[in-house]
Chains A and B, each alone.
Chain A
Amino acid sequence: MRPAAFTYTRPATLADALRAMAGGAVPLAGGQSLLPAMRLRSATPQALVDLAGVAELSDAITCNDDILTIGARVTHNALLEHASLANEWPWLRAAAHALGDVQVRNLGTVLGNVCWADPRANMAVALLACDALVTAVAPSHGDGVDRIALSDFFTGFRSHALNGRLATSIEIKRRVGARGVYLEFSRQRQDLALVNVCVVRAAQYARVAVGGIDPMPVRLPEVEAAIVDGDSGDVVHALHENLVRGRHAPPQDHHGTDEYKLGLAVTLIKRALALGEVPA
């Protein structure tokens, strides 16, 4: 099938893009999630605003003193080809590497993957474990930039807190000594994961993000606390306390029961902790 009709603009400035969005246009970045949905006509936007020509939206990854910034137009493959990022944030690289395929990664953007807000979106889960922020601008704000923590960003199944604002970049604060592991379980490699996890640790710090067990990617604070406390028995206990039906609501599909997916999350987190390059 083919997309339903829509009107199309390709503005050169952020102001024009925001104006189009204010008129109801849906932003188009790499399009690797939006276009399949439009082809199946499960998404039928009346208007698209193509961000490809917006000069203010960067296609660069920049590392300042303590902030890593991923521009709105950075593709997954651009992220994979970024040498220092791969050294310092190997779990982000692992998440991007397991995403889609070469062709999808050539067009799909990191920020687009986050804004698609699928509960199993690789980059969403991996970035959630990095305390990443989304920067966003609103049509009415003039030059003002909002920073939304990823932990506040996801509001439900494929929905987010942008409310008409345009996401412009992702920022990650550099954390000294941080080590992380991204793992996913899918039927075949590089399929959309059934469950994916990202565990990041540093001194007195742990983040556990999980996708596929709720309508949105979530963190597990009790498990994080147990990891920080350092008793592996407590971690296992926290996992089994936390990852039970009733506390989570995995998306419904024919690939497994809720219990199965929660069990996968437990297994993956255990493996991530065992495999993590974490000082004992």
Chain B
Amino acid sequence: MSETQRVSVVIEVNGRSIAARVEPRLLLVDFLRDQAGIKSTRIGCEEGACGACTVELNGRTVKSCLVLAVGADGGHVATVEAVSRGRALSAVQEAFIGCNAMQCGYCTAGMVMSAEAFLKQRGGGEFSDEDIRHALSGNLCRCTGYLNIVQAVKVAAGRAQPYARAETPLRDGERWTGQPLARREDRRLVTGRGRYCDNYGDSHSLHAVAVRAERAHARIKHIDTARAKDMPGVHLVMTGAEAQAHWHPIVATIDMVSLNLPHRYAMAVDKVIFYGEPLALVVADNPYQAEDAARAVVVEYEDLPVNVDAVAAAAVGADSAALIYPDWHSNLQIEHAFSHGDVDGAFAAADLIVDEHIVSHRYGAQPMETRVVLANFDPGDESLVVRSSTQIPHQTRMYLARIFDLPETRIQVLADDVGGAFGAKLSVDCELLPVLASIVLGRPVKWFESRSEWMHAGPAARDYHTRSRAAFTRDGTLLAMETDILADMGVDGAERAAGLGMPLNGGNYAPGPYVLDTYRTRVRCVVTNKAPYSAYRGYGKDLANMLMERLLDQAAERLEIDPLDIRRRNLLHRYPHQVVTGPIIEQGSVRESLEKLAEVMDVPALRAEQARALAQGRHLGICMVPYIEPSGFAFPGSAFQNYESVAMRIQSDGSVRVMTGMQNIGQGIETSYAQVVADALGAPLADVTIAWGDTTSTPWGSGTFSSRGAMFAVGAIGDAADKLRARMLTGAANLLGVERAGIVIDNGMFRHAASGKSMSFAELAYACYVQPGSDVVLAGADAPLLEAIGTYRHPQVNWTPDAHGRIQVYAGHANGAEGALVEVDVETGRVDVLKVWMVADHGVVLNPLVLAGQIKGGVVQQLGGTLYEVYDYDEHGKPRASTLKEYGMPTVWAAPEIEIHHLTTPATSTKVGSKGGGEDGCIATSTVLMGAVEDALRPLGVKVMSSPLSPARVRAMIEAARDGASA
């Protein structure tokens, strides 16, 4: 092999000249990250779609992943690090903070660069929202739904007001809880200082790349690694068969009786079962060399029949070669059935039966940061430190201990800032590869999943095929319902991915917030030769909502009842309301939310506009549905438990440190939990710090999923604060020499009104830690220290079945209603979402700014899934999309106007009165878009029972209706 060419380059980065000899193929983004130490330029894709690596090169913004370092030789690069000076942020950065224009922050530095360039180019001149969108269309954000970013650009130009309240002192009677405070994490994120996994590692770190299957279902006949092993920089090439000596199969995320588990290793051993499944591992000095070597591994396959279609896969015989797991004797991972009441009798007596095949296609979470791991096994003391982009650091440590036979005490899992997750980082599979490599080599090994790997073999979701029926009387009363759900798990929805609960939720929650006692459901989870099936925001509540609401709209049309009236007739009246399948909706405002929605949408005005538009040949449509948001999933046979804890410590200067096993994945826990702590303790907000993401320093926690934090973390904070307040009051009474009962805690002070005496948290804490010491200060207290563990379990979770076999796996239920106005271009099939309205009830809201951001982001995410995003496969099981563009990630152009209203029904399960939130937008958005498109096309007789609502499919629906009408 010829000598590798090296080229000398000198690039000025933020005013500093960096000289290096580089390979011609080195991308500027890698030069910046590895040679210039700039970590703000992040990698989220391979085709220059995401813009997270945007920098200024010679005065113009470019994507540094689409520039060669040699091409930038002699040039000047400015990154977000050059935007702020010392502590002083730019107007754009301040506006981003003030508008909550970021959540996970992974895209933020690039977004700021684009916003800065836009405003500089405009030079104070006029611009429109459309101009802003043009300027930001090269930067993808998966969290915010873009609207707050557009607002931030206007704020930076002095044309609009920020949304956030500054951390100014509270007025009398105010509490921190409920204040729309700017997020504390945002200063770090907006300056490019986010601490994502890929920041870490050094020049000694090696890089792992998976060799992946290029067949969807095939026996591995032979793997030739000889050439790869000889390539430059290669330290290790190991096949799945060789790896068996070093690890155990993946530990199941969900395990329960009646569930089939694959018991697969993280690398295929003798056959591959999906395109992109890892079958060997290559470790080299840098990712370029590792990829070269991975491509040099030669695999011989013997093809097996491929299961691409879930319906066909469900019918595969017990001895067929198409069985993915022959020991299962079928392709069914689980079949669940439930029936209550005389379903057949009710259908027989009905005035109207609606009967539809309702189908939701395959799409998924797609966070801007893919999965990234840095594993460091120290052979000296046989300890393992793993940094991972995960939602569940504690479970990850437990899984690692079992898979690698290591004592859990020798493993530390760190997960600092995580660049989005949405349920897709709730299990481990490929994350095990760099850990294996590090243990084998005794060196730090990094693995950074490429976007195309995620596209081909990463977590996917939805993909429901259903037949759903409902029986009604003539006046629209719902008599009975039946749902038959078949969901495509890909190769697995329970072991290496946690999506299997989604269709089960769909079946369990389809009766939703309606009065319905007669119901039958069957849920079949079928494996196919596709990528694993993962949890994804909405988690089947989307399906439940879709099944009921689409049937109700059909019934309303056929019975000629107003769609709102048919819901008014059937919605629950009283709380608590037990759903026929078991869940208990403890309290809420389902009816009120729907009425409020109809009011704020001004339905009569919209109907008039719709009629006017139709007269001009334009097709507008609206739809309104209620929704419930079950939250705080706690499932038997899983590490998702009805439990959370925090450790709370008053430090010697009186400041408060709260350590939690909840994981920050962009939802603002540093801020909203601090607000709760400040109120619960009476501590100054500025003195409260939330720490997370380290299994060594935080108590065991289940992590972040299922919108649980506002109940579980908040509940645990309340418990810890109660313990510490009691202890501190005892201490203050001892030190002040007054009766404890007369002491009031106020903003970090203990005040005794009768004596006029007072002291600060800092004085008490120092006295306790040092002089005169805790023996004196805390005499009479329950424990001699200013640190407490607080725990929480939700009273409503119940795993003991009743006579009908019903349990309660969800803690609480938020609720709301969603509506949409769309326009359909009947010639092209394009759907434009003109506006979305949300009415949401989460009880007492911790931070309205954070919640609104979650709602907007969720709406745009599910809108993207419904209209644009598709995972699909050819007949050989090969994925068709490799890039974000092909997949259809929503850009800034996708974001409609979103108007949000809140109702407040305080939860009784937490002292604060808060319920889970964050999935709202991913529950009813598909339903309302399908309903609104159907409403727009009603004059053409189109029924919309499936997604995606891509232009081609919508156009096909119109043509089918036309052909049907003329037939």
Give residues in A with beta carbon < 8 Å to B. Answer: 1-8, 10, 28, 31-32, 35-36, 38-41, 48, 50, 52, 77, 97, 100-104, 106-107, 185, 187-192, 194, 253-257, 260, 263-264, 267
Contact = CB atoms under 8 A, between A and B. Distances in A.
Contacts of A36: 46-48, 66, 883
15 contacts: A1-B452, A2-B30, A3-B25, A6-B24, A28-B71, A31-B67, A40-B46, A41-B295, A102-B137, A106-B62, A107-B60, A187-B951, A188-B888, A191-B891, A260-B955
Interface in B42-75: 46-48, 51, 54, 60-63, 65-68, 70-71, 73
B259 interface: no
Nearest to B287: A2
B870 interface: yes
Contacts of A5: 4, 23-25, 288, 292
Contacts of B23: 5
Interface in B807-833: 827-830
B480 to A, nearest CB: 38
Contacts of A52: 71
A50 B63 contact: no
Contacts of A191: 885, 891
A32 B48 contact: yes
Interface string B126-144: 0000000011011100000
Contacts of B868: 187-188
Given A3-B25, A187-B950, A102 B894 contact: no
B828 A267 contact: yes
A93 B331 CA distance: 55
Contacts of B46: 1, 36, 39-40
A80 to B, nearest CB: 11
Given A31-B71, A189-B893, A102 B291 contact: no
Contacts of B5: 7-8
A212 B870 CA distance: 20
A103 B71 contact: no
Contact of A188 (B47, B60, B890): B890
A101 B25 contact: no
B28 to A, nearest CB: 10
Contacts of A190: 137, 891, 893
Contacts of A187: 867-868, 888, 950-951
Contacts of A106: 60-62
A246 B743 CA distance: 88
B48 A104 contact: yes
Contacts of B54: 103
Nearest to B51: A103
Contacts of A97: 134
Nearest to A48: B24
A211 to B, nearest CB: 16
Contacts of A32: 48, 66
A35 B68 contact: yes
Given A3-B25, A41-B295, A50-B70, A263 B955 contact: yes
Contacts of A39: 27, 46-47, 65
B956 interface: yes
B41 interface: no
Contacts of A2: 25, 27, 30, 287-288, 291
A31 B68 contact: yes
B730 to A, nearest CB: 61
Contacts of A1: 46, 291, 450, 452
Closest 7 CB pairs of A and B: A101-B138, A8-B24, A256-B952, A36-B47, A106-B60, A189-B893, A3-B25
A42 to B, nearest CB: 9
Interface string B879-898: 01111010010110110000
A274 to B, nearest CB: 12
A34 to B, nearest CB: 9
A104 B828 CA distance: 27
B62 A103 contact: yes
B25 A107 contact: no
Interface string B448-474: 001010000000000000000000000
B438 to A, nearest CB: 22
Given A8-B5, A39-B47, A190-B891, 14 more contacts: A3-B25, A3-B288, A4-B25, A6-B25, A8-B68, A8-B70, A10-B71, A10-B73, A35-B48, A36-B47, A40-B47, A103-B54, A187-B868, A188-B891
Nearest to A77: B60
Nearest to A107: B62
B24 A107 contact: no
Contacts of A8: 5, 7, 24, 68, 70
A36 B53 CA distance: 14
A82 to B, nearest CB: 15
B956 A103 contact: no
Contact of B138 (A38, A48, A100, A264): A100
B866 to A, nearest CB: 13
A224 B323 CA distance: 57
Given A5-B292, A101-B51, A102-B135, A185 B70 contact: no
B214 interface: no
Contacts of A77: 60
Contact of A254 (B137, B870, B891): B870
A7 B288 CA distance: 15
A107 B956 CA distance: 38
Given A32-B48, A40-B47, A255 B952 contact: yes
B93 interface: no
B952 A102 contact: no
Contacts of A104: 48, 63, 66, 138
B401 interface: no
Nearest to B870: A254
A122 B951 CA distance: 20
Interface in B226-279: none
Contact of B883 (A7, A31, A40, A256): A40
